[in-house]
Amino acid sequence: MSALQELSDLLSGPSRAIVIAQRDVDLKSLPGENLLFVLKMAEGSLAAGGRGGGFGERRVVRVALFRYQNGACEKPFDSHDDARVQKFEVPFHVARMPLTLPDGNEVMGYGVIDPELVAQFMGISGQKSSP
């Protein structure tokens, strides 16, 4: 499976995923350069606004970094290791955001556009901070 297809499946699939991106997510035309982390949450998680009264699980079970530039998409980092993924904390300012899939359809996901947080996550993942 290509990195672009895997990213599309993560964003449009039934499991809860939180997107932390440098810029708006547009997988149809892959404009410019973008780095985005996808934080897959534990099944049954109530993260991203579903924490009634502050209760609910916000446990990350997988972290994947996707980079697209010049019309190409790659996945330079992917971890399921509990010790490693627990270093990636879900920000409290996550909100609903539109995500454009490769076929042009737009879905609403959870995430945040935050270049500073992406840079912080790049350091945690051991990747270079420049796309």
CA distance 47 to 101: 23
Count helices and strands in the chain by DSSP H and E runs: 3, 6
Question: pTM for this structure?
Answer: 0.85
Domain that holds residue 37: 3-125
Which tens digit of pLDDT belongs to each residue from 63-114?
A: 999 999 988 999 999 999 999 999 999 998 999 999 999 999 999 999 999 9
* 118 lies in some domain: yes
* 121 lies in some domain: yes
* 14 lies in some domain: yes
Total domains in the chain come to: 1
* 130 lies in some domain: no
